[in-house]
């Protein structure tokens, strides 16, 4: 979704390198890897993050192979690369924010004409679209990354990771994105809710000739 078409423009105050911003603090909590969060943060290096104070740090400009226990963790990496945020009202360059739908609903962070650290020609546009609630209906995805106006192919990490840095799902892990994304591509993640407890009972017959340690699975 091109937010500019709805009159939602880049915000002048969202600029800089190794910077962090937090938004969407009002409304329903976000469910991410089974934990609840008020608000969602995002940074210049192409990823959003939950619980910024606990999970941001290290060398965030270096895209990690996820999962990785080193911070930053709890990330939604749409295109993790060493970017810097610039603002230009004339071209709508920068970051735009929007919400949609209620109750629950969606948060949208749109990066337009991102540049490499220190300045460069515009690399691409991309969005992070995050649902606040889990929807287990078939075909319902809680996280969507969308891409457009891709001018240069760069290595990056594209994926999601939990707070402990022990679980992740990645389309590409600090690797070549050639052929994986193009203008109009969307990468979708389905957050699966906790399953209801299931009781399993079974019986075992041990042959008379059996001996030693027996195990079952």
Q: For every one of its 217 residues, what pLDDT tens digit does the chain have, with 9 covering 90 and above?
A: 999 999 999 999 999 999 999 999 998 999 999 999 999 999 999 999 999 999 999 999 999 999 999 999 999 999 999 999 999 999 999 999 999 987 679 999 999 999 999 999 999 999 999 999 998 888 899 999 999 999 999 999 999 999 999 999 999 999 999 999 999 999 999 988 666 677 888 888 888 888 888 777 6
Residue 161 contacts residue 134 (beta carbons within 8 Å): no
Distances (CA, A) of 97 to 55, 129, 209: 22, 10, 70
Q: Which residue has the tokens 């969602």?
A: 40
How does 25-45 read in b/e, with b if 16+ C-beta sit within 10 Å? eeeeebbbeeeebebbbbbbb
Residue 186's pLDDT is: 97
Does residue 45 contact residue 82 with C-beta atoms inside 8 Å? yes
């Amino acid at each position: 979704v091109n937010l500019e078409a709805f009159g939602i423009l880049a915000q002048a105050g969202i600029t800089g390198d190794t910077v962090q911003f937090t938004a969407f603090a009002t409304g329903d909590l976000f469910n991410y890897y089974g934990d609840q969060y008020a608000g969602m943060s995002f940074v210049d290096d192409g990823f959003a993050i939950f619980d910024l104070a606990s999970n941001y740090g290290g060398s965030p400009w270096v895209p990690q192979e996820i999962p990785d226990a080193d911070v930053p963790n709890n990330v939604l990496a749409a295109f993790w690369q060493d970017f810097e945020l610039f603002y230009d009202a004339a071209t709508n360059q920068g970051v735009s924010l929007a919400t949609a739908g209620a109750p629950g609903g969606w948060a949208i962070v749109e990066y337009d004409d991102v540049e490499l650290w220190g300045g460069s020609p515009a690399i691409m546009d991309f969005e992070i679209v995050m649902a606040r609630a889990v929807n287990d209906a078939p075909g319902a995805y809680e996280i969507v990354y969308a891409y457009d106006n891709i001018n240069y192919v760069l290595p990056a990490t594209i994926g999601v990771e939990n707070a402990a840095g022990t679980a992740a799902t990645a389309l590409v892990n600090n690797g070549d994105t050639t052929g994986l994304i193009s203008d109009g591509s969307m990468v979708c993640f389905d957050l699966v809710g906790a399953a209801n407890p299931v009781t399993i009972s079974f019986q075992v017959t041990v042959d008379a000739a059996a001996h030693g340690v027996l195990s079952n699975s």
